[in-house]
Amino acid sequence: DVKVTQSSRYLVKRTGEKVFLECVQDMDHENMFWYRQDPGLGLRLIYFSYDVKMKEKGDIPEGYSVSREKKERFSLILESASTNQTSMYLCASSLRRPQAFFGQGTRLTVV
Amino acid sequence: GQNIDQPTEMTATEGAIVQINCTYQTSGFNGLFWYQQHAGEAPTFLSYNVLDGLEEKGRFSSFLSRSKGYSYLLLKELQMKDSASYLCAVIKAAGNKLTFGGGTRVLVKP
């Protein structure tokens, strides 16, 4: 069975904190993605990676960075969390074929 | 860029049929996905259309017209468990990233 695991389901952080969201997949997928999901806006792509140590900006990368040191792990970093980054964050992975498999999501609240 | 439009919300009765439309404008096209997402859960894959026509999978069918930039997801014999959001997503010819529409929330009533 395909498995994409995000480290936390719920997270509460303070404004200005550095936040790490971790995602691990066990399917040997090359491609990994980070989305955020907000009511009325759907899923928006933050960053994606085609391979280890490779990363590309998505549609809304500002305020975020990513790290992919190992093929199975893709981390999303909020350097200095702000309240407008309160959202549901979804990680996904895929092979060369474009079907993406999603993690269960992390609901982040920045206070 | 890409614009993907789908209705925000639809309501239907148990046992009925509902059709969720999705229109898109994209500079390149390499397929269209439909995902189902229950509240608080991850999106799960429903269908993938890359050629024109209808793909049927049990109670769910998906249609694509590339010339019109149009797709629909048809849900037949609606069940209460079909209450969920349905996400339309397009993949461009170059690259593997999906771009999503805002999602359609379907409410099935008894």
Mutate to test the interface with A, among B5, B33, B55, B96 (most CBs of A within 10 A): B96
Phi/psi of residue B81, each to 5°? -70, -10
Q: List CB contacts (< 8 A) between B36 and chain A.
A: none
Given a cut of 80, whether residue A15 has pLDDT beyond it is: yes
Measure the N-to-C terminal CA separation of chain B; round to a whole number of Å.
Answer: 41
A45 closest CA partner among B21, B33, B96, B44: B96
What is the pLDDT at residue B94?
Answer: 64
CA distance B100 to B41: 17
CA distance B74 to A61: 34
- Picking from B30, B31, B87, the nearest residue to A42 by CB comes out as B87
What is the pLDDT at residue B29?
Answer: 84
Q: List CB contacts (< 8 A) between A92 and chain B.
A: 98
What is the pLDDT at residue B40?
Answer: 85
Given a cut of 60, whether residue B16 has pLDDT beyond it is: yes
**Hey, which of A5-9, A49-53, A91-95, B80-84 has the most confident mean pLDDT?**
B80-84
Strand partners, A69: none
Residue B72 near residue B19 (C-beta atoms within 8 A): yes
Per-residue pLDDT, averaged over A65-82, amounts to 96
Per-residue pLDDT, averaged over B72-86, amounts to 97
A42 closest CA partner among B108, B63, B7: B7
What is the pLDDT at residue B98?
Answer: 84
Per-residue pLDDT, averaged over B19-28, amounts to 91
| Tokens encoding B93 | 């010819």
